[in-house]
Structure 1
Amino acid sequence: MGIFTKAKETVPCTVEVSHRFESLHAHVRFDNGAVVYPGDEVLVHGAPILAAFGDVIVERRNATITRATRLERWWTRATGDFGFMELCEFSFSEELLA
């Protein structure tokens, strides 16, 4: 991996989407043990997975990992804490909007 070049790798993965009262999540696990580092991008191939309420769907797919350049990785680490603060600007509420 160079300072300005991006590497891509295609990896097998397992996607789990849960739409249940006790758990609302979507997880991707790389079946070959690949690791994603700061600044890397992941694109899971295939149609969107839409789970109805009460369902958990597990599918095997392929994903493309685009590795960040050294400069992008450094920048992501340097500014990552600021991005986290954006997550603090919303909350979940039981109120319904009219």
Structure 2
Amino acid sequence: MNPGLLSRLTGGRRFEVPCTVEIEQTFDSLHAHAIPEGVQLRPGDRVLVHNLPGHIAHGEAMRFETQATVIRAGWLERAWTEASAILELTELYHCGFEPKEAP
């Protein structure tokens, strides 16, 4: 099989990009956002963020620049990710619109 075709099907291409990370642990919010810059992420792609702090104290909010590795999903992984997301979404319909039973 052609190596180029195999890599398009299975993915695995890696590259480094700059990344902005925001972490907050306060009374109002507990969140962490990693935003890779200069790249459009697609379903199934993975992002590995480098040099993250091991701990953030309560009441702190941090924002810093670092590097991230993007691992591209191949065609098969993208298709699987999209299909499983649609199936998981239909589970929300199932539990959200059931009629009430009479007492």
TM-score, normalised via structure 1 length: 0.74
SS of residue paired to 1:6: strand
Number of matched pairs: 85
Aligned to 2:65: 60
Equivalent residue number for residue 77 of structure 2 = 72
Q: 1:23 aligns with which of 29, 34, 47?
A: 29
Q: For the Cα contact (< 8 Å) 1:38–1:77, is it kept in 2? A: yes
Larger Rg: 2
Distance 1:44 1:83, change over 3 A: farther
Deviation at 1:23, TM superposition (A): 1.1
RMSD: 2.1
Deviations 1:25-67 (A, max 9, x none): 00011232x1221111110011434221111011111000100
Tell me which residue corresponds to 2:4.
none
Unaligned runs of 5+ in 2: 1-6, 92-103
Indicate whether 1:37 and 2:66 are aligned. no
Tell me the TM-score normalized by structure 2: 0.71
Structure 1: tracts of 5 or more residues without a match: 86-98
CA contact (8 A) 1:40 1:65 kept: yes
Instruction: Work out the percentage of aligned pairs sharing the same amino acid.
Output: 38
Contact 1:17 1:49 survives alignment (8 Å): no
